[in-house]
Amino acid sequence: MFDVLAYLYETYWRPDACPDAGQLVKKLSAVGFETEEINDALAWLDGLQSVTHNLAVYPSTPSMRVYVAQELELLGPEALGFLHFLERAGVLTPALREVVLDRVLAVPRGPVSLDDFKVLLLLVFWSLGEEPDALILDELFVDDAERLIH
């Protein structure tokens, strides 16, 4: 799933540049992605669209967040530390943090590695048509020879 998401980020620099779901499935299959990976990624993106559409329901004021056991298990210590780093740096508002956590919980299999977590973060910003500042963006790029993001 994460490879499909990374491919979409690299290929379609804006969400509105993606073809409709039917064409996208065909293109992703032609590139060589497995059907299960494609379906998981598209379901994840549908959920992302739904959550970001309702972004206003999340608090926009500074807040303290207590994580439940399932969130901690899926995040793992590296991703949780990176999430805290982004919050302290002012990159993630409380509302965006909740979107990210929602999307972490939507991952079909966990825990989420730090590199996979970075892909999820990039897709959250991508779906909103936003790009974090250059220094943070450098931190988000995955340093994995098998991923397209570089």
Question: 70-122 pLDDT, tens per residue?
Answer: 899 899 899 999 999 888 888 888 888 989 999 999 987 778 999 899 889 88
Residue tagged 């901690």 (tokens): 72
Which amino acid type is present at position 95? A
Whole-number average pLDDT of the chain: 82
CB 5 within 8 A of CB 12: no
Model-level pTM?
Answer: 0.78
Give the number of domains in the chain.
1
**Residue 144 exposed, middle or buried by CB count within 10 Å (0-12, 13-18, 19+):** middle
**Any domain includes 150:** no
**Any domain includes 146:** no
**Any domain includes 126:** yes
Average pLDDT over residues 128-138: 67
pLDDT in tens, 49-75: 888 877 655 556 667 889 999 899 899
* C-alpha 36 chain-centroid distance: 18
Write out the residue range of the structural domain in which residue 64 sits: 2-140
